[in-house]
């Protein structure tokens, strides 16, 4: 009898422990990953801003930027190379873009699909970001409206994109990141930006996709006009 009682008690304690561990995991996933990822991503932004700062005047003339894409195309996997700013998400919204879209990369910021175009390049600059957890850079992707500005900042240029449209697709519909979005095989004539995030929130059964078109490419020296960073009316940020 006492043996049976011991077995039942131990089993009960084990199940309670497992339940607590699952709850602990949920709080880690939904809360702690945001805490650590936001901290890391803010640090990456600071590093990038320092790197992007133009060198002192006397060095600048000696280093003309002939091809703004030359340095970008050599970015190694997992390295941050650009900053995305989206006024609709708040005036101070800034997230790093890293090369690659694997799990680890996406915990550190927005990931650039390897093999797709680079910022400002004709073709499709396609990026993925978390909708929930890990700092959730694309948490409010569903709030983006036609005409909303997305600024991609690289070492040499500001690339200003304007949102064109959105679609909701299944995860296997890779044609959204084709050089001409949704037209695989077509020859690109303009520069696109495609953002992908999971959909619905807290699920991964679908993808929420936003397409934006390049509006303007501005050399860093010219500076980004403040009008592009105006937060649209009715924004959450």
Partner 1 sequence: MYGPLWRLLPGPWPVKVILALVLVAGVVAVCFLWLFPAIAPHLPFNGNSVQTGLPLPGSAPLST
Binding site for partner 1 (CB under 8 A): 9-10, 13-14, 17, 21, 24-25, 28-29, 32-33, 73, 76-77, 99-101, 103-104, 106, 111, 113-117, 123, 128-131, 133, 138, 169, 171-174, 176-179, 184-185, 187-188, 196-198, 202-204, 207
Q: What is the CA radius of gyration of the chain?
A: 22
For the bound state, the minimum distance from the C-beta of residue 180 to partner 1, rounded and expressed in Å, comes to 9
Token couple for 50: 């320092």
Measured from the CB atom, the residue of 167 and 229 that comes closer to partner 1 is 167
Cβ burial of 1 (10 Å; 0-12, 13-18, 19+) is exposed
Instruction: Write out the catalytic residue numbers.
Output: 130, 198, 207
> What are the E-state strand segments in 86-205?
94-99, 110-112, 123-128, 149-153, 157-169, 191-199
Burial degree of 5 (CB within 10 A; 0-12, 13-18, 19+): exposed
**CB-CB contact of 188 with 123 (8 Å):** yes
What span, in angstroms and rounded, lies between the C-alpha atoms of 210 and 233? 20
In the bound state with partner 1, the residue whose beta carbon lies nearer, of 29 and 215, is: 29
- CB of 215: closest distance to partner 1 in angstroms? 23
Output the smallest distance, CB 176 to partner 1, in A: 6
Q: Which is nearer to partner 1, 11 or 42 (CB)?
A: 11
Provide, rounded to whole angstroms, the least separation between the CB of residue 82 and partner 1.
15
164 neighbors 171 (Cβ within 8 angstroms): no
Residues in the chain: 237
Our CB check for partner 1 shows the closer of 29 and 71 to be 29
Q: How far is the CB of 58 from partner 1 (least distance, A)?
A: 35
Contacts of 100 (CB under 8 A, 6+ apart): 77, 78, 111, 112, 114
Cβ distance to partner 1 smaller for residue 37 or 217:
37
Alpha helices, DSSP H, located in the chain: 2-27, 33-52, 57-60, 103-107
């Amino acid at each position: 009898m006492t043996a049976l009682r011991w077995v039942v008690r131990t089993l009960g304690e084990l199940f309670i422990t497992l339940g607590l561990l699952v709850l602990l995991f949920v709080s880690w996933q939904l809360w702690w990953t945001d805490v650590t990822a936001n901290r890391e991503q803010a640090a990456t932004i600071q590093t990038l801003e320092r790197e992007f700062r133009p060198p002192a005047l006397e060095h600048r003339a000696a280093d003309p930027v002939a091809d703004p894409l030359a340095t970008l195309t050599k970015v190694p996997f997992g390295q941050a190379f650009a900053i995305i700013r989206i006024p609709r998400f708040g005036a101070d919204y800034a997230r790093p873009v890293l090369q690659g879209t694997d799990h680890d990369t996406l915990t550190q910021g927005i990931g650039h699909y390897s093999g797709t175009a680079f910022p400002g390049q004709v073709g499709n600059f396609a990026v993925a970001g978390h909708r929930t957890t890990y700092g959730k850079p694309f948490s409010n992707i569903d709030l983006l409206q036609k005409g909303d500005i997305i600024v991609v900042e690289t070492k040499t240029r500001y690339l200003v994109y304007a949102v064109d449209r959105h679609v909701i697709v299944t995860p296997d519909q890779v044609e959204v990141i084709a050089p001409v979005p949704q037209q695989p095989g077509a020859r690109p004539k303009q520069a696109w930006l495609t953002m992908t995030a999971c959909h619905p929130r807290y699920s991964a059964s679908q993808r929420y996709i936003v397409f934006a078109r390049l509006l303007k490419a501005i050399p860093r020296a010219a500076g980004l006009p403040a009008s592009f960073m105006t937060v649209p009316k009715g924004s959450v940020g």
